[in-house]
Amino acid sequence: MILQSVTVRSTKEFPMQTKHILAVTAMVLILGAGLSLKDKVRLLETREIRKTLRENGGVKSRAARALGITERILSYKISTYGLDDPA
């Protein structure tokens, strides 16, 4: 497999779809980098929780519903992953 290195200094000028493609590409590269399954799950869940909280204005009940989990499970994951400030 041949990978080309690309440096992106700022994504401000990219449309949202391009930002999403870059994020997914980075995630695929990271997830294939010999991490344990536990670490891969943590990366994926952290990304999805932060994204969903942003999309739902930080309202945990709506974010939990969007993720298909209970608010209690979401709160547990936020605490476990140290996402108290979902930046």
Domains and CATH numbers, the chain: 36-87 (1.10.10.60)
Tens-digit pLDDT profile for residues 10-54: 656 666 666 666 776 676 666 667 888 898 899 999 999 999 999
Task: Indicate whether 5 pLDDT > 60.
Answer: no
Neighbours of 26 (CB within 10 A): 12
Among 5-9, 35-39, 43-47, 77-81, which stretch is predicted with the lowest mean pLDDT?
5-9
Answer whether residue 86 shows pLDDT above 50: no
- Please state, in angstroms and rounded to a whole number, the distance separating the CA atoms of residues 45 and 50: 8
Cα distances from 33 to residues 16, 23, 42, 82, in angstroms, run 26, 15, 14, 23
Alpha-helical (H) ranges within the chain are: 16-31, 37-55, 60-67, 71-80
Q: Do 86 and 51 meet the contact criterion of CB atoms below 8 Å apart? A: no
